[in-house]
Structure 1
Amino acid sequence: MAGQPDLGRADLVAMLAQLTDRPTDLPERIGSMELAWLVHLVEQRYDRQLDLTDDQLARVRTVDDALAVFQTALTTAADG
């Protein structure tokens, strides 16, 4: 996929709901296990290895943080 990825906040919330077996109105904060799950699913969905740095991973504390990091990583991977 070239250009901007079609990954949205609703996609991440749905992915988290699968892991936690909770409804999609889950808390905004995500933990390390949830982050690992999201990285795995995003890599599968886009058939790419995300080369996230420790700094990028450390910035992810909320769903919106994860979305920003993933969109940047996917766009960078598509451009590279």
Structure 2
Amino acid sequence: KFELVKSKCKSNKMAQAHSKMIHHVEPGQLSHMTLKDPMEIWEKLKNVHRGQGFATSLALKQKFLTSKKGRNQMMQAWIG
């Protein structure tokens, strides 16, 4: 009985998350949101919109190599 209640709660939370995601995306993104599991939807959207070309890679390297610690930023936060 406990497992059934736990399963219903999980299903309800997933449905709520799915609903929120649908209401916060542009209409053109809805075609990527056909899955039921919000985590799977998130992964699909992430993969669709992730830059994968040479220019993206070069820009990320440039950003990393030219990054600077902020004046009010703690050294521990800057290092990671």
Measured against the shorter chain, the TM-score band is 0.3 to 0.5
Q: Give TM-score, length-normalised by structure 2.
A: 0.33
Structure ranking higher in helix proportion: 2
Larger radius of gyration: 2
Greater relative CO (CA pairs within 8 A, separation 6+): 1
Q: Give TM-score, length-normalised by structure 1.
A: 0.33
